[in-house]
Amino acid sequence: MRTVNEIKNIYIEKDLENSLIANNIRERASAEHKISYIDDPKELLSHFRQHGERESKENLLLYSNKGDFFSSCPGTDGMVCCQYFVLNLGQGCLYDCHYCYLQGHLNNSLLSIFGNFEDLFAKIAEHTKNKNIHFRIGTGEYADSLALEPLTGQSTALVNYFSHHPNATLELKTKSSNVEELLDLDHRNNTVVSWSLNPKAIIDLVEEGTASLPERLAAAKKVVEAGYKIGFHLDPLIYFKK
Ligand code: SF4
């Protein structure tokens, strides 16, 4: 499985220098990670759009999301909506599943994550507080929920936040085995950790960089023992001959 050691350069927007996620990154980064502070994330995004190597996973940007963090799951035409909501924590994935829409959707090779979590928490509260429905909110839409967790602590911060929101369940979706950071958290049953599964032959062939099937199952066992609910997604289903 690819790890955060693939990342060589970490760029942090200066305005977020003292943020929770920037502190996490400084604490967790190794000597091989070069951290720089930048004034203008747009300039860096534009540079990587024009000059970045398409396949590279070496560059990570932490910056502020000025748009909305929260959206309704787009759903599928003709199907009944299940009221799932998506939290956008950044764009770009450490892994390279051949079928992933991100491969064609993203226009630069920079892994980018959002660090203005105070704004994020305010948005979640705005959407969920004093509403008489149970929200299901997932983060695995534009990136893997746990691939960068050993470096960023984004999901740890969310699990802690959702533990105080009884009318919402957080879903973390992953193809990694990065669960160590989650095991000792007081999650209060408000987080589901889920894995997308496929047969070994498909994982080996088209899910580049992800955890193997036994690694995913071993990680799932650990989070069950830590009291989390888990989920498995059989998605996508790919026909193959044995
Ligand atoms: S792990 Fe998920 S987000 Fe990452 S490349 Fe695979 S399908 Fe896309």
Average pLDDT over residues 84-112: 89
pLDDT-derived band of residue 52, with 50, 70 and 90 as boundaries? confident
Share of the chain above pLDDT 90, in %: 78
pLDDT-derived band of residue 102, with 50, 70 and 90 as boundaries? confident
Residue 111 has pLDDT above 80, yes or no: yes
Ligand 1 contact, 170 CB (< 6 A) = no
- So where are the chain's domains? 4-233
Ligand 1 contact, 102 CB (< 6 A) = yes
Ligand 1 contact, 97 CB (< 6 A) = yes
Residue 101 has pLDDT above 90, yes or no: no
Average pLDDT over residues 54-77: 86
Ligand 1 mean position to 95 CA, how many Å?
A: 6
pLDDT-derived band of residue 36, with 50, 70 and 90 as boundaries? very high
pLDDT-derived band of residue 108, with 50, 70 and 90 as boundaries? confident
Ligand 1 mean position to 71 CA, how many Å?
A: 19
Instruction: Give Cβ neighbours of residue 109 (< 8 Å, ≥ 6 apart).
Output: 48, 52, 53, 54, 55, 56, 57, 59, 92
pLDDT per residue over 167-207, tens digit each?
Answer: 999 999 999 999 999 999 999 999 999 999 999 999 999 99
Which candidate, 203, 202, 181, 204, places its Cα nearest to that of 193?
A: 181
Query: Looking at the domain that runs over 4-233, which CATH code has it been given?
Result: 3.40.50.12110
Q: Is the peptide bond before 214 cis (omega within 30 degrees of 0)?
A: no
At residue 77, the pLDDT reads 76
Contact criterion met (CB below 8 Å) for 147 and 179? no
Residue 105 has pLDDT above 90, yes or no: no
Which candidate, 83, 118, 142, places its Cα nearest to that of 126?
A: 118
pLDDT-derived band of residue 136, with 50, 70 and 90 as boundaries? very high
At residue 132, the pLDDT reads 87
At residue 115, the pLDDT reads 97
At residue 10, the pLDDT reads 98
Ligand 1 contact, 192 CB (< 6 A) = no
* Ligand 1, atom 8, residue with closest C-alpha: 100
Ligand 1 contact, 143 CB (< 6 A) = yes
Contact criterion met (CB below 8 Å) for 44 and 11? yes
At residue 142, the pLDDT reads 84
Residue 103 has pLDDT above 80, yes or no: no
Average pLDDT over residues 140-144: 85
At residue 4, the pLDDT reads 97
Which candidate, 95, 115, 89, 92, places its Cα nearest to that of 25?
A: 115
Residue 104 has pLDDT above 80, yes or no: no
Ligand 1 contact, 187 CB (< 6 A) = no
